Structure 1
Amino acid sequence: MQMATIPPSLFLLIFLWSTELGAEGQEVHFGSCWVQRAILRDLWRAFQAMKNTVQALDCDTDTRLLRQEFLRNASWAEICHLTNSLLDFYLKNIFKNYKTKAAKLGILPPFMSLANNFFAILQKFKRCKERGLLPSNESAQRKFELFQQEFTQLNPEVRLTKALGEVDILLTWMEKAFRS
């Protein structure tokens, strides 16, 4: 009995189509915006690959930039606004200024993966904002300003490492918000 073989190109096309269908059903909603779960998994994977290296350099364990009370009893609008502000801040300040050090530490591939995925999520928020689905929020803005004040009070080298080492806190917040 002869078995039919599927040409490799057809197999690849079927595989990509089926994974895309699966990914579509795996979106998580963040207020009126949504992000594919695969992006969250990629964020965690990238952070885990560099976590020990970065957190070992953080000698200031008494200071916390991303405080738990920022999201305690927060509304969707507040969570969305704060997350959008933080992602933008990380891209413009942390990833931009830590790239050379990440290369020296040997963590550039996961570092860049993290930055690229932050950018992808920020683009989703940008589209939501353009459609009026991401309203401004005064309470979230005050919390973001507290984060920025704490950040700027630290030594420039220390604050970059501190912020990068706290990405797991941000990712945990995002996961909790997506599950709610």
Structure 2
Amino acid sequence: MAVFSSTLFLLIFLWNTELGAEGREFHFGHCRLQRAILQDLWRAFQAIRSTVQALDNNTDTRLLRQEFLQNASLAEICYLNYSLLNFYLSNIFNKYHTKAEELGILTPFTTLTNNFFVILKKLRHCKERGIFSLSESSQRKFQLFQQEFIKLNPEARLTKALGEVDILLAWIDKAFWP
């Protein structure tokens, strides 16, 4: 585990220093998320999509539902993105690392992890400055996601959540693209 943490830190550091001029700027009000490249996230997900989704046997279950965004304010969408990014980093990416290595998708998986980390870090600064606020509705929507996640067995929930990253990327795009 210590080797994984050291490797992850090194990859994040290298990724941050190499991003430079290629970085795009995402906006949420006055919060600007520099260096988060949505195209890289999409490419990384496309590289793992078929592998991960082929392992998903719960095709009737949906964790990230479109109705979560219906009638949602930009602040709610931002809160949901923040909560989901944090959840993915804490509960999915760190537990799927070994599986990603076994499946031969470690490089794009690491790209996803690193980009999620950078976006979350920027959003955390926005949250601390009070740029987006917590609403009861957005909390309830996030809790619904967590309830569906917990209903699945441990292996299935990780696969399902990772297979739905494209939905999360679309939400990030909707919330932050100028």
TM-score calculated relative to the size of structure 1: 0.83
TM-superposition CA deviations, 1:23-78 (whole Å, max 9, x none): 4xx42212432224752111111111111100010011100000000011210110
**What per-residue deviation string (whole Å, max 9, x for no partner) do you get for residues 82-116 of structure 1?**
10000000000000111110000000111011000
Does the 8 Å CA contact 1:31/1:80 hold for their aligned counterparts? no
Contact 2:36–2:119 at 8 Å: present in 1 too? no
Q: Does residue 133 of structure 1 match 2:164?
A: no
Structure 1: unaligned runs, 5 residues or longer: 1-18
Cα separation, partners in 2 of 1:118 and 1:147, compared to 1, 3 Å: same
- Residue 83 of structure 2 corresponds to 85
| Higher CA-based Rg | 1
What is aligned with 1:102? Answer: 100
Contact 2:33-2:123 at 8 Å conserved across structures: no
- 1:41 maps to 39
Residue of structure 2 aligned with 1:53, choices 51, 54, 57: 51
**Counterpart among 70, 73, 82 of residue 71 in structure 2:** 73
Distance 1:169 1:37, change over 3 A: farther
CA contact (8 A) 2:45 2:166 kept: yes
Count of residue pairs the alignment pairs up: 160
Amino acid at match of 1:45: R
Q: Post-superposition, which runs of at least 4 consecutive aligned residues in structure 1 deviate over 6 A? A: none
**Which AA in structure 2 matches 1:138?**
E
> Structure 2: which 5+ runs fail to align?
1-19
TM-score normalised per structure 2: 0.84
Residue 154 of structure 2 aligns with an amino acid whose one-letter code is P
Deviations along 1:119-175, one digit per CA (max 9) or x if unpaired, are 000011111112121211211110000000000010111000000000001101111
The percentage of aligned residue pairs carrying the same residue is 68
- Aligned counterpart for 2:176 among listed residues 156, 174, 178: 178
Matched letter for residue 62 of structure 2: R
